[in-house]
Every structure is written in structure tokens, then in C-alpha cells.
Structure 1
Amino acid sequence: MNGAFNILNSYRHSGCTLMSVVFLLLIQLWTPMGVVQGQTSIEKMAADGYALRFSDTTASVRIQTEALTLAKTKNSKTDEAICYAYLAMTYRRLLQLKEFTRYADLSYETANQAADNRAVAYSNWAMGLLRSYIDDKASAVDYMLKAYGLFVQLKEYAYCAKIGADVSYLFYPGSEANVTKYADEAFRYAMQSKDPESILHARLAVGSYLLDSAGGGDLEQWQKAVLFFKETIRQAEQVEDAIVSKSNIGIAHINLAVLYMNGPKPIDEKAFLSHLEQATYIGRQYSLRNIYRSSLGLQGQFFMQKGDYRTAENLFKEGIAYQQTLPYKDNDLLATFFGCLKELAAQEKDYAAYHEYDTYFNKYNKLKYDEATQKILQNTDARFESEKKLALIEQLEKENELERKNKFLGYGISAILLIGLVFMYRSYYYRQRYFQNREDILQEQQTNSELKVQLMEKESLEVLAEKLSLERRLLQSQMDPHFIFNLLGNIQSMILQNDRVVAVSYLGKFAKLTRQVLEQSRMDRICIEQEIQTLKNYIELQQLRLNHSFDYEIQVDETVDSTVYIPPLLLQPFVENAIEHGLKPLVDRRRGFLKVAFHLDIDADILECTITDNGIGLGASKSRKIDASHTSLSTRITDERLALLYPNNPSVQLKVTDRNEEEGAGCVVFLSIPLI
């Protein structure tokens, strides 16, 4: 599916499959609720309050708080832990991480005190959702599986269905077998529970892997997935009033619309648009931003592909207008829709409108990136705070265990007193020494644990801050302002000279290069083909900027596999230096030439990269830099990156030297990168 807007791009996950997007929608929007057996009156009161989380959040929190107060009054640790778990999941729905974390931790701590399987199941459920929310997937799976096993023992099949489905999502995409296993188990438990909401949630989990299998072009699989989702929607609409999580109905409509769009051509336009209209209605009625954005965006994308630009434009503008009427501002949604309008303007060659939409796109995209960075920091803080609390809980459990042992030993000492005063004195004396030593050791271990947690927190935050700082400086070093301004000036000159076809081509290359730099700067690794493509775009734009005063060649040995992965944006700064400080000053002396070569040392598993130019050389370049306004930071930034990526690795080398005299003037940059 091509174009500025599609359901994959709406989440900005590069290389994301259709199934992963469906999983993201489900994980973000599903909410656990259902009719269960074995509830106490307090648990039922909390569950009833939780059911109001969509329609009346104020009443929802108030009723759950009253249930918690009643549980404390009755001194019921089990009900207290369950109430804390419901409050945690409610604040998850409200996107309040601090309160979500606090109540999840309280639920877990209280459940351990209660030592009741029902309370432990709820608390592990809440902790699993918290870990998933802060992107700690491994811990989330552990907590959710523990909750899942306990609810299976309790025969609470409605909860088994929901948690089993969520476990299925967490295993994607690492284990296809587990995705299918837990989705199918969730469906069986849902049918046993006869709870409409659990059945819908489980059917969506099964439908998700059917969606993925239908994406391979198999007509039979596609028809199977279509029939499954049609039946899912039919069943959901029959019991719509009993389903609290209306978002799941919207997801079913979107999934079916995506199946039509990616299915056999020509597509069933009437069915496709009908399901998207239903999803749009649900998204607006219940303020479900992801449902609304995906449904409206897919409609716009469809009309763009048909060439009906006015309808597509109206849909995108409708999305923007609706967002601006809300009390909050969704920068991701606004950036997405302005990006769609920008591409639509490019299709119609309306450059004035393109410039206007691009201004808004960049504004909201920056705000979205700032929010994402802030969320990463908040999630990091929440993760460490939660780990510290769990460590303290574990320490308290050890202390309680030691106290219980001391009691039994005290009883033993009392029995020994009956044998004789001498033996009693000796036993008391040596045991007191033993207890004191154990207490000293315990205190020392506790102090060491606290110091270790503090050190881990400090080191992790320092590493994160250093990484963010390096990423910012890396971005700044990739796109030199002189390069951007001169390039745009050349493109403008082409437009004024009516050479618009070439100008649009180079403008497209520039946009693609900018997007590649922004996307790759947040990746840990990219394949060698992506790095070469980025270098080609950059060098060709530099050729335009310098009036094609030099040629270039990129040589890849047959020893280099195209799937070799390296850190992103590692070579571009050195290519920039070669052009800016080596080839550019040549003027009319001779025609410049730049060569980038890749060679793989198979025995050492090291990728060797060589950048050679026939410019003025290091000595002449350094003498010119005295009055130059541009200062290259490539060597220092690359050294810092390599130190972070490959600490104390002797295979990492970075050398910048002049060429041999017999080869002529110029400079050679040699960089070796270990692939292990």
C-alpha cells in the first residue's frame, strides 16, 4: 500500500508488518472486564466501577476508591489487592503512568501479604500490563503467564481468555507458535465463559494471526480471514450493549477493511468504505484516537490511489479539524494528516500548498518526537522505581523469613532450658552470637542491595543521557546548514529556469535523504544496502550543489554480503569531509574523484571501509581551516559512538592519512567495524 498515509505509517514503525500494527491497536485499546464467578461484594463493586471507565471516568474512580476503603475497613487484604489492581488498570486507560505504577506496586505488595491465589493473579495481571506499557516485554510475559496460570486454576475463563490473548500479542513477532497457541487457547476459554466481551477479544487475537497469514497472496487464506472477521462483527453487533470496550468493535471493522484493500483486485469498494465509516463513527463517538486516525486515513489513502484528490483532501482536513476541537492535542495524529496533505500537494504539483503543509508537518513532527523522548525517560524512571520497590519487597520477605526462623529457634532454646542451666547458658550464648552475625550479614546485604540499586539507576540514566546527547550531535553533524542552503538555492535556480523536472527529482532526493537521516539516526543497526543508498543520495546532492565538479564510485567486494548490518550514518560525515575540505577547494585544478570501498575480512569477521579522494590533502586542508567557518566534528563523534558500541574492542580502527606520493594528492579514511 503506497502513499503518505497508511495504517502502517500511522504508527511510524519502520518495516512493521500488518499483523504487528493490529497487535499495537489491540494492546493499546483493549481493556479487561467481564462477568466472573467467585467474586466478593467488594470485588464486584470495584468491577462495576471499572466498567464505567469509558462513559464516566470520574464515577469510575470514585466507586473503585469507595470499594478500596471498604476493603480496608473489613481488613480484607485479598479485596484490597484486587481494588488496587482495578485502579491501576483504570489509570492505564487514563494514560497516567505515575498513578498506574503506584497502584500496580501496591496491588503486588498487598497480594504477597494476603497469600491468596486470586489476589496474586490480579496483581500479576496489573504488573504485566505495567511492564508492557513501559516496554519491558520480557518481564511483561513473565507476569502475564503467572496470572494466566492462576486464573486457569481458579477456572475464571473470562479472564483466561483476555490474558491469553494478550500473551499472544506479547509473543509477536518472536514466536509464531506461541502467538497461535495462546490465541487459540484464549478462544476456547472465551467460549467456555460465554462472556461477549471476552469472546470478541479472543476472536480478535485469532483474527490477527489469520490476517498475517492472508498477507502472503494466498486466496484461500484471504477468504478464510474475511469470513472470520465478518462473523466476528456479526456476533459483536448482536450483543453490542454487553461490550464495554467498543474499541474492539472498531478494530474488527478496520481489520476487515484492510483485508479488502489488500485482497484481490478490483476490491469491493462498497464493503471497504462501509467498514471504515463504521470504524470512524466508533472512533469519534468514544474518543478512540488510534481507531479514528486509522479509519479516516485509510479512506483518504484509498481516494488518493483512485486519483480523487478532493475527497482525500477533505478527509484529511476533516481529521485535522476534529482534532483541533478536542481539549488535548495529538501531535502524532496532526503530523500524520499534514504529511498526507503534503504528499497530495506534491501529486498535484501545488508547491505553495506543499510548503504550507510541510511547515505544519515539521512543527507537529518535532512536538511528537519531543513527546516520544519524554515518554522514554518517564518509562525508564518508572522501570527503575518499580525494580527498586520489588527489590525492597524481596528484602522484607527475607527478613520475615528470618524472624520466623528466630521464633522456632527461641522455642528450641526454651526446651533446652529444661535440660540444665549450664547447657542452657552455653546454647543461649552461642546462638545469640549466631543471630548477631546473621543480623550483621543481613544488614550488610541490605546496604549493598540499596547501593547497587542506586548505582544501577545512576549509571543507566547517565548512559541514556549520553546516548541522547550523542544522537542529537549526530543529527546535527549529518546535515550541514551550508549544504542545505546551497542545495536548495540550486534547486530554486532550476525552477526559475523552468527545469522543473530535474528540480523536482532533486527535491525528492533531498526529502528522501532527510527522512533517511532522521529514521536511521534512531536505529541501532542498518544493512549495508541502506547505508550505500543513503551515501548515493547524499553524494548526488553534493554533485548538484558543486555543479558536478567531481565524480564518484562506490565499490562493494563480492566478499560483502548485502545483509551485513552496521551502525547507521557512520560513513556520511567522512564523505562530507572529503567533498567539503578535499574536493571543493580544487576549483579548476583538476576534476575531483571520490571512491568508497567495502571489503569483508572473513577470518576476523570485520568490515573494512575505505574513503579515498584526490583532493588537496590533509596539510592544505588544515591550513585552510584557520579561516573556515565550518568545523568538522566527524572524527570525535565517530570515536564516541564506536567507544559506546564496541567498548575496549581492539578490532575497531579509525585512521585518516594522506595518499602515497606516487598516487597523487588526496586523503584516505580507513575504518574497520567488527560485525560480532
Structure 2
Amino acid sequence: MLLMSIRSVCSWLLLFLGVVPGVFAQDSLFTYHLLDSVRQLRPDTSTVRIWLEESRRTAAYFDGHKKENVFLQEAIAMSQELKYPQGLSMAYNELGTSKRNKSQYILAEDYHERAIKYAQEARDSVLLCQSLNNAGVDCRRLDKLQKAFDYHFAALQIAEKIGNIKNICVATNSIGNIQLSEGKYELSIERFQHALKLEEESNNPLGMAINLGNLGYAYQGLGKLDLAIQHYKSSLAINEKLKNATGKVICFNALGAAFQEKKDYPTAMEYLQKALQVNDQVDDKVHMAESYMNIGKLLSVQNKHEEARGFFQQGITLSNYWGFKSMLMDTYKALALDYKNSGDFQKSLEATEKSLLYKDSILNEKAAMALNQMQAIYDVDRKDNQIRTLQHDKMVGELRTKRNVVFIFALAAFLIMLTVGGFFYIRHRNLEENKQTLQLELRSLRSQMNPHFIFNSLSSIHRYIWSNNQEEASDYLTKFSKLMRLILDNTQHTFVSLNKELESLRLYLDLESLRCNGIFDYRIKVASDIHDEEVLIPPMILQPYVENAIWHGLVHKSNEKGQLDIGIRLEGRSLVCTITDNGIGRKRAMEIKARKGKTHTSVGMKVTQGRIDLIRKINNKDASVVVTDLEDPGGEPTGTLVTIILPAEFIF
């Protein structure tokens, strides 16, 4: 009833302002009037759903003005306040899909992973299927095919268990597309046929058209061109019935390619010309540019070079006007091949250079976009942490208020014990405040580790990009993003499990190995009597010493490959961590540092030493760091041993 009343209020407001629902997203004044009206509603789950509904209806307005959808932001904020995981999952699904539509796939994957987490918390199987399928699509766009397969397969298993046909179709079709891209045509055909059968039973013509087209691609990959053409034509018939211009263009282009492969050039040209005609009905002009390029390729293989270049030039002109860099890269590449086949090698070289120029531009844009998206993910995580901290402070404040009330009543009831009770209370409070002060100092020191490490890693990514090592930059960035996620998770806690800390340390060492061109190897050995899921350790406590061993010991080593050994063992109630390197030693490192005129002191070492001192004060237990210089029998330095002793903490 509440949901119906809210909708009635919104409908009344539409009539009052004289704006019909279908066009209100074009009116910014109306949008913000509606925003204010919904903000006046009582905060509950029904209001969250209203925010989500309005976010979908206003999506075109906010996308057109390149603004964040405030309705979605309000839905997320209210869901967090209400601790409503279902609302958070739906909102993050919408937000992730919006980012994917703008080709911001890293952000989309992050938001859809949040949606999965909250759908699991809400125990909503349908929402979980949808979230898993969305994350799978993001991974496919990022070429993470194995991860995409895992997401879609998990969605398929859940959807089949609950009998959700829509998500079964999505997951099955997506798995088929992954297998198609990997060249597993027979397996993909089985998936597409199963999905087609389900779409037919559900009477979903668009789904039928998509799966028929996908079957055509699979049969063409197997060289069964007649079967491929048959399925393309079946898909085309449905798209024509649906008056789906984009679908018709895709089918015409596919048919043109199939007939070209059959060397039936007149029929291929007929279909490509039809695609060109239908392109006038499609808003996205990239399809028209693609059609010009395909016709040019067809003419080129027939040695009609002048005609081919005319179509190539039309595609280039259109792509320049709309800024289709990827299409420009492909068209110039096709033009270069045409010039080469006609014997004009100079012009072929010029066209190739232009193709490579656009390729470099695309790679640079992707790298910049990836960095921006990682920064956005970091900002969102930081904002979420601030919200959680505020909620925690509010709860602590309420608990303190209750405690004070109880304390006042206790004093009234036990006046005789006022002096003794007051003495012990003041003493206890002073001890607690002193401990809280030490813990705040420890938290402050721990928080300094993030910007210190992030600065070094971003500098390395910057170096890779400027040195035009896109593949290494991409690999480095992928590992860096995973490491950042672990650090952001781990540094929220005073202690984390040993296996999580070692996972982040391995990622860090992999990144440093890439950064140093593999000049060292490393080993991590955990004693057999340690269960790394149960032992706790302060986060980022080993990383500064590992970093120091690499950059002051191993990078200067020239006569043999560097070796870094990390050992973890228990001695009584203490956790002993050792970091051993075969570097040049501290004395030689200080000489090199003095020769280069460097006076910088390691921030990471200084901060970590402060953390260990505070751990010793808070716990009244043994916690120390000992650095030992290693030497051979002749007194020559052979490396450094760092021994870190921490109080042993356990989950149970």
C-alpha cells in the first residue's frame, strides 16, 4: 500500500507540473523537483525501490548530461543507512551496467562484484544470478575469459536450481560466446542450441534472433558456410519482423562475409549494400563506417582497387567526423593491404603508419581510463569506509550514553561506595583512554602505508606506459588493482589472517619483480605447525622490510641473481618472521647512498618501527626488530637478515 501511495504522489506531481512520464528526463527542473519530493518520503525499503525506479527512468537524462545519477546515489545511501542488502545489490547492478554502457569495464566489474556480495547477504537467488551474469559480461569485455566463464557457470547452476529461465538463457548464451571466442565451435553450438530452445519456449523473438546469429558464427568458424548462411537468414527474418534495424545490419554484414568466403562476390556485395542502406535507420554510425570498410575489402579482393579505395575513404571520413578511432585503425589497415596488393608500397606504408598511430592512441586512452577507474574505485571504497566509521561512532555513542545512565543509577543506589567506586572508575577510564590513544596512533601509522606504497606503484605504471610497454603495463595494472583491493580490505583491521597478509606480499613481490625486470627470486616458507588461516598478524608489517631488502640490497647486486627468503615460525607465544637477502649489505648500500648524495629516510621503515613499538606498549608483550649483517668467513658482506618478533595472535 505504501508503494502504491508513493507512486500516486509521483503521478500527481507529474500532472501538477504538466509533464508526462515519457519525456520528464529531458526536463532538468522537473527532475530536481521530483528529487526533492522523494527525499521527503519516510526512509524505508519501499522508498529505496522508488529511488531505483526513478534512477532507471532518469538514466537517459543523466547520461546525456554526463552526470552521476543522483537517484542511484540516494538509493545506495538509504540502503546503507537501513542495512538493506537487497537494495544495495539492485543499486550496484544498475550502477555497474551504466558504467559498462560507457565502456568503463573495470568500474563495472567492481560494482557488479559488490552487487554479488550484497545479493549473497540478502540470500536472493534471482538477484544473485543477475549479478553473476552482469559480472561475467564485464569480464568478457575485459578479455578475462576464465573468470567470465566462472561467473556465468555459477549463475547457470543457481538459475537451473530455482528454474529461472531468463538467467538460464543469459548464462547459457554467454558461455557459448566465450567458447566461440576461444574457437571451441562444437561446444558453443551445443550452448546456443540449448539457449535457442529455451527462448523459443519462452516466446522471446529477440533472444531467438541472437542465438540464431551466434549459431551462424559458430558454423562459419567450422567452415560450414551453407549452415551458417541458413542461420543468418533465419535471424534476419526475425529481426525484420521485429523491425530491429541494428539486428538487420548485423545479419547483412554476416551474410556478406559468409558469401565473400564462398567467393560469391555479387551476392556478398548485395548484402553489404543492404547493410549500408539500413544503416540510415541506426543511430550509431559506427555500423555505417563498418559497412563502407567491408565493401572496400570485398572490392579489394576482386582487384577493383580504385572502387575499394573510394569506399575506404568514405569510411575514414565518417569515422573522423564521429571520432571512431578503432574503426579508423581497422580501415587504414585494410587500405594498407589494398595498396600493398596493387604494388604501391609507399602508400601502403603511409596507411600502415596511420593505423598504428590510432592503435597507439587507443592503447593510451585505455591505460588512462583504467587509471581513472582505479582511482574512482579507491574513492568509493574510502567513502564507504567513512560511512561505516560514522555508523560505528554513532553506535559507540549510543552505547556510551546507556553506560553513563546505568552508571548514574548505580551511584544513586550505592552512595556508600561512592569514594571507592569513583576511584576505580577514574583509574579504569584513564587506562582505557591511554589505550585508545595508543590504538589511534597505531591506526594513524598504519594508514600511512597506503599512500606510501600507492605512490611507488603508480610511478612504475607511469614508467611502463611512457616506455610504450602496453602489455607489461596492463599486466602490472591488473596485479596492482588486485593488490590495492587486498590492502584496502586488510588495512581496515588491526590484525588480518596470515594467509591474507602473505597473499598481498606475494602480489607485491610479483609487482616488484616485474618492476626490476626479474633481477631476483623469492621464497616464502611457513612452518608446518602454523595454520595460516588461524594465525593473525598486523597488516603491511613485513612489506617495508621486504621493500628495503630489494631496493637497498638486491638491485645493486651484479655478480649473481638476487635471492629473497621469507620465513614464518612460532616460538612459544611469539611469531618470528625472518627476511633474508643475499644483497650487498647495509654498509655497501650506505656508501652508494652517500655517493649519490641521497639523505632520504625510508618512510615505510620508520612508520613500521613505530607500529611495532606501539604493539609492544599496548599488549605488554615482546615485539621487536633486529637487523643482522651477514658475512662470509673472510668478513665480506653476504646480505642482511631482519628478524621481526611479534606477539602470537589467534582467531580462536
TM (norm. structure 2) is 0.51
Q: Measure, in 2, the Cα distance between the counterparts of 1:171 and 1:137.
A: 9
Deviation, 1:569, is 13
Q: Measure, in 2, the Cα distance between the counterparts of 1:199 and 1:235.
A: 22
The within-5 A match list for 1:240-255 is 250=246, 254=250
Is 1:404 paired with 2:398? yes
- Worse overlay, 184-193 or 314-323: 184-193
Deviation, 1:205, is 3.3
Q: Secondary structure at the match of 1:168?
A: helix
Cross-structure match for 2:76: 108
Match of 2:106 among 135, 145, 155: 135
CA contact (8 A) 1:338 1:357 kept: yes
Deviation, 1:209, is 4.3
Q: Measure, in 2, the Cα distance between the counterparts of 1:275 and 1:432.
A: 88
Deviation, 1:407, is 3.5
CA contact (8 A) 2:249 2:287 kept: no
Deviation, 1:112, is 0.7
TM (norm. structure 1) is 0.49
Cross-structure match for 1:319: 315
Is 1:82 paired with 2:52? yes
Cross-structure match for 2:91: 123
Deviation digits for residues 598-641 of structure 1 (CA, Å, limit 9, x no counterpart): xxxx9x9xxxxxxxxxxxxxxxxxxxxxxxxxxxxxxxxx9799
Q: Measure, in 1, the Cα distance between the counterparts of 2:278 and 2:582.
A: 57
CA contact (8 A) 2:239 2:247 kept: no
Q: Measure, in 2, the Cα distance between the counterparts of 1:305 and 1:340.
A: 11
Structure-2 change in CA distance of 1:171 and 1:417 (3 Å): same
Match of 2:7 among 24, 36, 41: 41
Cross-structure match for 2:491: none
Cross-structure match for 1:182: 155
- Worse overlay, 231-240 or 387-396: 231-240
Structure-2 change in CA distance of 1:107 and 1:569 (3 Å): same
Deviation, 1:122, is 2.9
Structure-2 change in CA distance of 1:134 and 1:161 (3 Å): closer
Structure-2 change in CA distance of 1:519 and 1:377 (3 Å): closer
Is 1:332 paired with 2:298? no
Cross-structure match for 2:223: none
* Same amino acid, percent of matched pairs: 10
Q: Measure, in 1, the Cα distance between the counterparts of 2:556 and 2:271.
A: 52
CA contact (8 A) 1:395 1:446 kept: no
Match of 1:381 among 375, 378, 401: 375
Q: Secondary structure at the match of 1:322?
A: helix
CA contact (8 A) 1:339 1:358 kept: yes
Q: RMSD between aligned alpha carbons?
A: 5.8
The within-5 A match list for 1:249-328 is 250=246, 254=250, 266=262, 287-288=283-284, 300-301=296-297, 304=300, 309=305, 312-326=308-322
Is 1:69 paired with 2:68? no
Q: Measure, in 1, the Cα distance between the counterparts of 2:475 and 2:557.
A: 11
Q: Measure, in 1, the Cα distance between the counterparts of 2:289 and 2:425.
A: 70
The within-5 A match list for 1:539-558 is none
Q: Measure, in 2, the Cα distance between the counterparts of 1:353 and 1:383.
A: 45
Q: Secondary structure at the match of 1:325?
A: helix
Q: Measure, in 2, the Cα distance between the counterparts of 1:426 and 1:284.
A: 90
Q: Greater RCO between the two (CA within 8 Å, min separation 6)?
A: 1
Deviation, 1:382, is 1.6
Partner letter of residue 146 of structure 1? K
Q: How many residues align?
A: 444
Cross-structure match for 2:351: 357
Partner letter of residue 146 of structure 2? G
Deviation, 1:404, is 3.1
CA contact (8 A) 2:176 2:187 kept: no
Q: Measure, in 2, the Cα distance between the counterparts of 1:200 and 1:280.
A: 31
Partner letter of residue 386 of structure 1? V
Cross-structure match for 1:208: 177
Cross-structure match for 1:420: 414
Q: Measure, in 2, the Cα distance between the counterparts of 1:290 and 1:438.
A: 66
Q: Secondary structure at the match of 2:146?
A: coil
Q: Measure, in 2, the Cα distance between the counterparts of 1:429 and 1:282.
A: 88
Structure 2: stretches of 5+ with no match in the other structure: 194-210, 216-230, 477-512, 524-553, 566-580, 585-652
CA contact (8 A) 1:68 1:83 kept: no
Deviation, 1:347, is 2.3
Q: Secondary structure at the match of 1:174?
A: helix
CA contact (8 A) 1:257 1:271 kept: no
Structure-2 change in CA distance of 1:415 and 1:147 (3 Å): same
- Worse overlay, 122-131 or 181-190: 181-190
Is 1:469 paired with 2:431? no
Deviation, 1:113, is 0.9
Structure-2 change in CA distance of 1:118 and 1:350 (3 Å): same
Cross-structure match for 1:501: none
Q: Measure, in 2, the Cα distance between the counterparts of 1:39 and 1:266.
A: 63
Deviation, 1:274, is 8.3
CA contact (8 A) 2:316 2:328 kept: yes
Q: Measure, in 2, the Cα distance between the counterparts of 1:383 and 1:333.
A: 30
Q: Measure, in 1, the Cα distance between the counterparts of 2:69 and 2:582.
A: 44
Q: Measure, in 2, the Cα distance between the counterparts of 1:95 and 1:377.
A: 23
Deviation, 1:321, is 2.0
Deviation digits for residues 493-521 of structure 1 (CA, Å, limit 9, x no counterpart): xxxxxxxxxxxxxxxxxxxxxxxxx6656
Q: Secondary structure at the match of 1:74?
A: coil
Cross-structure match for 1:168: 136
Q: Measure, in 2, the Cα distance between the counterparts of 1:293 and 1:651.
A: 59
Partner letter of residue 180 of structure 1? F
Cross-structure match for 2:26: 59
Deviation digits for residues 425-444 of structure 1 (CA, Å, limit 9, x no counterpart): 76566557666766676676
Q: Secondary structure at the match of 2:451?
A: helix
Q: Measure, in 1, the Cα distance between the counterparts of 2:237 and 2:426.
A: 73
Is 1:145 paired with 2:116? yes
Structure 1: stretches of 5+ with no match in the other structure: 1-36, 241-245, 476-517, 526-565, 572-601, 605-637, 654-676
Deviation, 1:524, is 4.6
Q: Measure, in 1, the Cα distance between the counterparts of 2:276 and 2:129.
A: 27
Deviation, 1:397, is 2.5
